A and B are shown apart, each in its own frame.
Chain A
Amino acid sequence: MTELLHSQADNILINDYERSDVAVLPDVAIIQTSTTGENVSSNAATASSHARVEPVDPQDHETTRRHRRDGNPEEQRPLNNDHEEIFKYGASHVVKLFVPVSLCMLIVILTIKTTSSYTPGGATWAYTPFTEDKPTNTQKILFSLANTFIFMGFVITATVILILLYKFKCYKIIHGWLILTTLMLLFFFLYSYFSSISASLNRPIDMITICFLTWNIGVVGMFCVHWKGPLRIQQAYLIMMSALLALVFYKFLPDWTGWLILGVISIWDLIAVLCPKGPLRILVETAQERNEPIFPALIYSSTMVYMITAVDPPAEPEFTPVSVNSTTAGKKSHHLDLSLFEKKQFILVNVGEPLTDEQRNERATIRNNNARRQLIPRADVPQTEGRREPARYVVERSNSPVPDDDDDEKGVKLGLGDFIFYSILLAKASALGDWNVTIACYLSLLIGLCLTLLLLAIFRKALPALPISITFGLVLYFSTVYIIGPFTAELSTGQVFI
């Protein structure tokens, strides 16, 4: 217990400058204050105040359980627990991630198949300035490589800016950036989506209807994503935003550039998360040192989370670095939930903690989530910022006082960037019109996600979500198009069933 108090004190000291915004309030009051807009900027303070409040509550048997368990060092956990936890949040959480990923892909593919305005070609955008209308293949490859490097330059710059902002504690800038991104996404992209749909379906819609729809959907989206809202609606908005962004990407990325970008960004994800000097890893470690939750950004989570997650996305529309909030009761040795999400998403596995779904495409969004129950300590809930950076996984340690019989509380988090890049891959796979290719890529993406979650459970640290899935997807795409495709075409023509 004393160590817990000590760590609480640490939290208070570290976040002292931020506490001035938020008074020390009892649990109920904190929940009330967190509903105000002010809390958005003082999420860290609220986080610390939450952390402060946790052990005080005597009725919170879960926190007391947590206190008891906090004394247990990690090594005392028997090996069985590892396996248990692998299996505990195994199958059902994987499926809980399958459904939103599949929904996002479905929205993207349906839109592409029914409307013609989201097909590539036409305008280019600033991030990939070279077109691919070149006479020879060599030139195409060269210009695609140039496009890829420019794009990756933007990504890396955005990540570095985010990390610098985070290191120098410019939280307000990050929050503002995040809100601006969501605003643009929810209003502008939605408006253009409706316009494209009505143009493609040849149904004129008057301006008043479109503005009414966009305004309402956008405002509700801002509320749900940045503040509080029903879980399903939050999830729906996050999926919708990922789908919109994936469509924009798909429209503007030239063909070969798209494939190269997918490959390079998986490698970047791997480097940034796993290398000791990688930016995302630095972000995670900084957050750990400060004992702060990283800005929860665009992260899709499957359960409600109690903590206030601050999202800190960079202003870069495409890339929002995700900062990971590692909230611990104080000591690093306690469960660390790191969800590091750079531009993309990361997967957090919360054991026993309800997680809020936060997703945003590129920018981290700051969320203040009202805890449904005040039982769960904040520290157990990882906060993550999701951006379009490579996704990372965060594994919560089993030290968290998660009630064993409470499966519903355990949620999984996946960064929005992962949604976006998976959907882009599948959109490009479906562009050929061959459904075998689409199904093969879909299956490989899901199996990659499954494997990544398995690795997450085994290694229990932040892992990138993109590399395995994208590798499987790319390998199966090219092999299905060039090798399996002709074989199955030959078989189908003659109705030979193997």
Chain B
Amino acid sequence: MTIMECAGCTLIAYGVPFSMFVFTIAHHPFRIIISMTSAFFWLISLLVSSLLWFAVVPLRNQLAFAVPFAVIFQEIFRYLFYRVIKKAEFALQKVQMQELTDKGMVFDRFAVAYAAGYGFGFISGTFAIVNVLSDMIGPGTIGIFGHSQDFFIATAFLTLCIILLNTFWGVIFFTSLDKGGIHRLIGPGIVVLTHMLFSCITLLNRKSQPLYSVSLAVGYSLLIGMIIYTLMLRGFTINNIRQRMNRD
């Protein structure tokens, strides 16, 4: 039974991201490397946040102190990764593009933004859920001593939410910075604000009788909002979509 639960939660949390990987990233080595590097940057940002949490000893139990800083550090490292990508692209532009195109290596900004967001999200979700999954597969379950019985399934859905949110945040962040102008402030601003909102709402999960429905509802509505904003940034409008649908 525990194996079933573990398998179910794994598939909930990783089903969509794994399909995304298989269909969009797996056959493009460049995107794999971008995702891994972006995951590494997230890991470093987590290290910095943990150092801060570790250093401020008296506030270790007050996660409300550490979480906003963690969010801020993550976004700072996302921006740093953007700068690194820009430098690499600049170096690549010196290369003769023709041969690259022949080899199928095109510097696709959207793909890079997507892969970067995906990397961030995947490692973020993994660090949140993988220990829970390995505990889940052992004997016993949760909820016996008055704790909420929805711990596992809420974790799985929240993990899925954060992986997808991070993907879209990555796209919004990079695309807005590329666009320039007012978007340079709006895009990253929206990302930081929604990230902070989501993380602080999940702080509510710490209560002894947690209301997972609040975090889940907020998380998924934020996700829908991010999807709509991404589509707007990429130039899709209602008319566009309608035309496409009528064409097919």
Binding site for B on A (CB under 8 A): 79-80, 83-84, 87-88, 90-92, 94-95, 98, 404-405, 407, 433-436, 439-440, 443-444, 446-447, 450, 476, 479, 483-484, 486-492, 494-498
Contacts and interface: CB of A to CB of B under 8 A. Distances in A.
B177 interface: no
Which 4 interchain pairs have the tightest Cβ spacing?
A: A494-B206, A91-B29, A95-B29, A495-B205
A95 B63 contact: no
Interface in B196-225: 198-199, 202-203, 205-206, 210, 212, 215
Q: Chain A: interface secondary structure?
A: helix
Given A483-B51, A498-B49, 8 more contacts: A443-B43, A476-B43, A484-B46, A491-B128, A492-B131, A495-B158, A496-B203, A497-B124
Given A436-B130, A498-B199, A487 B50 contact: yes
B232 interface: no
A180 to B, nearest CB: 38
B163 to A, nearest CB: 10
Contacts of B194: none
Nearest to B107: A87
Interface stretch (B1-9, B67-75, B185-193, B237-245): B67-75
B47 A83 contact: no
Interface in B58-98: 60, 63, 66-67, 70-71, 74, 91-92, 94-96
Interface of B: 29-30, 32-33, 36-37, 39-40, 43, 46-47, 49-51, 53-54, 60, 63, 66-67, 70-71, 74, 91-92, 94-96, 99-100, 102-103, 105, 123-124, 126-128, 130-132, 134, 151, 154-155, 158-159, 162, 198-199, 202-203, 205-206, 210, 212, 215
A447 to B, nearest CB: 5
Contacts of B54: 483, 486-487
A92 to B, nearest CB: 4
A439 B215 CA distance: 27
Contact of A479 (B47, B126, B202): B47
B30 to A, nearest CB: 4
B36 A447 contact: yes
A91 to B, nearest CB: 4
B206 A87 contact: no
A494 B33 contact: no
A435 B10 CA distance: 14
B37 A447 contact: yes
B203 A436 contact: no
